Amino acid sequence: MNQSQSRHDLLVIGGGINGVGIAADAAGRGLDVVLCEKSDLGSATSSNSSKLIHGGLRYLENYEFAMVRKSLVERELLIQAAPHIIRPMAFHIPQLPHSRNSLMLRAGLFLYDNLARRKRFGGSRGINIDKDGPLNPAIQHAFEYWDAQVDDARLVVLNAVQARQHGARVLTRTECTAVEPTEQGWHVTLHDKRRNKDIELNCTAIVNATGPWVASVAKRLSKQAPAHEIRMVKGSHIVVPRIHSGEQAILLQHHDGRIVFVMPYLQKFSLIGTTDQEFNGDLDQVEISEQEIDYLIEIVNLYFKKPIVRSDIVHSLSGVRPLIEEAGKDASKVSRDYGLEMEATSQPMLSVYGGKLTTYRKLAEQAMNRLQPIFPEMGSAWTSGAKLPGGDFDSQENLYHQLQARYAWLAPDIISRWQNSYGTISFEILGDAAGVEDLGIKFGQNLYQKEVDYLCNNEWANTADDILWRRSKLGMDFSSSERDALANYIQQSYPSS
């Protein structure tokens, strides 16, 4: 059967966290699934997040108790599913005169501790601030609570790998350009950008999980008004050399009531964000604004003894959050919850509006439950107890020792990076390698050919940026010449044809 004659159960449009989560859930229920993504997996909002799996402490102020509870439940499930890329992190909330009332914070933290069962996360408490530490000497007291940090881009990729393991076909650099309803469902045209050719297929149902593009894609494909209008809100972060020691994040409260996180990032850096700025520009060209930079620098310098300046910024990242429009609300007050809507089309098209990293698994499960009447023979929900690829180990410490025992010649910093990116997949990548010479070309920063080959062959990496900024986080450490050498190797070894 050629591609123009192929028939599938479900087409998922969009390779961000919601799209890959839905593809994995659907494939695991026995459906024949195709996922298309016009760029790289997780290349937009999903890889430009605050890199947190969290309940959303601040959402309690808006009385979104159900969403916070749902997020807290998911926090526990996800850290069990992917302990290699998700790890608990303490958060400190230092108190200044303009900060939220201490009694209100205590009440909020009590709810946060008790809205859902905690197994892997500590409870909140009050702490005293060391006067010799990095914070403003006026700060003497803080609160501590726990959430988790995640490698967001790898979370996306691992869900895509899981989808493929269950039989899904994942097509990157492939855009859905047209759909036409038929008696059996949809006739779809996809355009493979790498090979510059069209692919035609038929499917029973479509899921539109295109993030910020969801409303425009729904309108273009269905030729109907979308179920919801979307509020585009840009969130930006800056990266600077590490400004505090310790493994805790620090939550800063701005005068306007918004919060900004300062989080340890890649050992050497601090990740500072996020902002909430209305966005009306080109979704393929999202960058931090001068106003956002000023905003983040201002709040950091209010709380820290040593000020940061623009020249300290080594990197920035910006993503657009697609929030369901709530007229009259400030961007920071619009709900981060999601909506699943069947569009007004003659054949099934489900659109995903809103959502966030933490709740992607539940969103995917609910999306497939919505499609149950269309696929009455599909299996039941299964992801709540499933491990993501590479997450099948009991502890980071034991995994490190297993890798060290089998590959004693491998440098400790490489073992550490690999176990935190690949988990038990590290054994698959290394295979029977007996020495560093078996890793092949060294491109820089302990990135070797063997790892690059694995990422190109198994994780849809097509460019140097796919590897340096999403599959790994080595981009800030690579020189331009090293990046060029990597790009040349990929181009020569993995041509598009």
How far apart are the C-alpha atoms of 7 and 183, rounded to whole Å?
13
Tokens 């005293």 belong to which residue? 128
The tokens describing 173, both together, are 């650099």
What one-character-per-residue DSSP string does 112-162 give?
HHHSS--SSSPPPEEEEPPTTSSB-TT--EEEEEEEEEE-HHHHHHHHHHH
My answer on whether 455 and 469 are in the same domain is: yes
Tokens 């501790």 belong to which residue? 113
How far apart are the C-alpha atoms of 199 and 9, rounded to whole Å?
16
The tokens describing 100, both together, are 């939220």
How far apart are the C-alpha atoms of 87 and 347, rounded to whole Å?
42
My answer on whether 341 and 270 are in the same domain is: no
My answer on whether 23 and 166 are in the same domain is: yes
Can you count the helices (H) and strands (E) in the chain? Answer: 13, 20
How far apart are the C-alpha atoms of 490 and 479, rounded to whole Å?
17
Q: 76 by DSSP, 3-state: which?
A: helix
Q: What is the CATH number of the domain that holds 179?
A: 3.50.50.60
Q: What is the CATH number of the domain that holds 300?
A: 3.30.9.10
Residue 442 structural domain: 396-493
Q: Report pLDDT for 344.
A: 87
Q: If we measure between CA atoms, which residue out of 203, 201, 200, 252 comes closest to residue 91?
A: 252
403: in domain: yes
> What are the CA-CA distances from residue 76 to residues 120, 123, 356, 444, 464 (Å)?
7, 14, 16, 36, 34
Give the pLDDT of the chain (497 residues) as one tens digit per residue: 344 568 999 999 999 999 999 999 999 999 999 999 999 999 999 999 999 999 999 999 989 999 999 999 999 999 999 999 999 999 999 998 888 889 999 999 999 999 999 999 999 999 999 999 999 999 999 999 999 999 999 999 999 999 999 999 999 999 999 999 999 999 999 999 999 999 999 999 999 999 999 999 999 998 888 888 899 999 999 999 999 999 999 999 988 889 999 999 999 999 999 999 999 999 999 999 999 999 999 999 999 999 999 999 999 999 999 998 876 667 666 777 899 999 989 999 999 999 999 999 999 999 999 999 999 999 999 999 999 999 999 999 999 999 999 999 999 999 999 999 999 999 999 999 999 999 999 999 999 999 999 999 999 999 999 999 999 999 999 999 999 999 999 999 998 75
Distance from the Cα of residue 103 to its chain's centroid = 33
Residues 6+ apart with CB under 8 A from 194: 173, 462, 496
How far apart are the C-alpha atoms of 385 and 383, rounded to whole Å?
5
My answer on whether 406 and 475 are in the same domain is: yes
My answer on whether 345 and 372 are in the same domain is: yes
pTM given for the model: 0.96
Domain count, the chain: 3
60: in domain: no
**Start-to-end Cα distance in the chain:** 21
What one-character-per-residue DSSP string does 265-322 give?
ETTTEEEEE---EE--S-TTS----HHHHHHHHHHHHHHBSS---GGG--EEEEEEEE
9: in domain: yes
What number of residues does the chain have? 497
My answer on whether 124 and 237 are in the same domain is: yes
Residue 489's CB is within 10 A of a number of other CB atoms, namely: 18
100: in domain: yes
Q: What is the CATH number of the domain that holds 481?
A: 1.10.8.870
73: in domain: no
My answer on whether 25 and 162 are in the same domain is: yes
My answer on whether 321 and 355 are in the same domain is: no
My answer on whether 173 and 257 are in the same domain is: no
Tokens 């909430």 belong to which residue? 276
72: in domain: no
Residues 6+ apart with CB under 8 A from 61: 108
Cα-Cα-Cα-Cα dihedral sign, residues 98, 103, 104, 107: positive
My answer on whether 141 and 244 are in the same domain is: yes
Torsion of CA 44, 48, 52, 55, to 10 degrees: -60
405: in domain: yes
Q: Report pLDDT for 2.
A: 43
How does pLDDT run across 327-369, given as a tens digit for each residue? 666 766 677 789 999 998 999 999 999 999 999 999 999 999 9
Q: Choose one of 364, 385, 406: the last residue of a domain.
A: 385
Q: Choose one of 295, 311, 329: the last residue of a domain.
A: 329
Q: 35 by DSSP, 3-state: which?
A: strand
How far apart are the C-alpha atoms of 470 and 468, rounded to whole Å?
6
What's the half-sphere exposure (Cβ side, CA atoms, 13 Å) at 288?
A: 23
My answer on whether 237 and 136 are in the same domain is: yes
How does pLDDT run across 178-235, given as a tens digit for each residue? 999 999 999 999 999 999 999 999 999 999 999 999 999 999 998 888 888 899 999 9
478: in domain: yes
Tokens 């996020």 belong to which residue? 274
My answer on whether 163 and 247 are in the same domain is: no
> Are residues 425 and 390 in contact, defined by beta-carbon separation less than 8 angstroms?
yes
Tell me 327's DSSP state.
Answer: T
